[in-house]
Amino acid sequence: MVPALAELVEHLKSLPGIGERTALRLALHLMKRPEESLRAFGDAITALSKLSYCPECGMVTADGLCPYCSDPRRDSTRICVVESIRDVLSIESTGDYKGLYHILGGVISPLDGIGPADLNISPLLERICSGSVSEVILAISRGLEGETTSFYVAKLIAPHNVEISAIARGVGFGDDLEYTDSVTLGRAIIARVPFKL
């Protein structure tokens, strides 16, 4: 293989979930693109090194505070605690939340060797201690590990006079009961709510 192509295949292969064949397919697909398109793509990858993480919440930022933490229109009395940056973007896409975020960067998972010390927790406590926060919303999913993490975070926050809530759990809107896992379905029945007419 031509060295320049082989090199790109190696780079593409280094991405998670992309194997040798897919990497080659992608590289050959890219070869058909015009020079300016390739340059823009290449520059976009190189430009990532200019980004960093928000010191307050852990979100991706170009410089200093992230777009959420630095937005004065957002409700800074509420902090939604999530596992990952992707969770922030998922919640943002709903348009139903206007508060701030805090990204833990993972969940407690002893089997994977991830303990509380590996999570980004202290900046959250600092913000809570500063006194401007009135509610912390736990939005950590992922089953048992997520619950363990929620419990751990809640215990840490509890002594500080803030309301602690968690996102509602239950059967998804439009989900088929037949294909809903039994833990979710069982808990949804136990946690049933009055039907409003």
Task: Enumerate binding residues for a second copy (CB under 8 A).
Answer: 1-5, 7-8, 11, 15-17, 21-22, 24-31, 33-35, 38-51, 60-62, 66-67, 84-86, 89
Provide, rounded to whole angstroms, the least separation between the CB of residue 94 and a second copy: 15
Nearer to a second copy, 105 or 123 (CB): 105
Closest CA to 127 of 73, 68, 52, 168: 68
Provide, rounded to whole angstroms, the least separation between the CB of residue 68 and a second copy: 10
Nearer to a second copy, 102 or 152 (CB): 102
Say how many C-beta atoms besides its own lie within 10 A of residue 57's C-beta: 25
Nearer to a second copy, 19 or 186 (CB): 19
Nearer to a second copy, 61 or 152 (CB): 61
Backbone angles phi, psi at 16, to 5 degrees: -65, 135
- Residue corresponding to tokens 């039994």: 182
Provide, rounded to whole angstroms, the least separation between the CB of residue 49 and a second copy: 4
Cα atoms in the Cβ-side hemisphere of radius 13 Å centred on 112: 8
Nearer to a second copy, 84 or 148 (CB): 84
Provide, rounded to whole angstroms, the least separation between the CB of residue 63 and a second copy: 9
99 secondary structure, DSSP code: E
Give residue 48's identity as a one-letter amino acid code: L
Provide, rounded to whole angstroms, the least separation between the CB of residue 60 and a second copy: 5
Contact 80, 71 (CB under 8 A): no
- Distance, CA of 143 to CA of 140 (rounded, Å): 9
Nearer to a second copy, 85 or 154 (CB): 85
Give the DSSP H or E segment for 31.
helix 20-31
Contact 156, 102 (CB under 8 A): no
- Distance, CA of 172 to CA of 61 (rounded, Å): 32
Provide, rounded to whole angstroms, the least separation between the CB of residue 13 and a second copy: 11
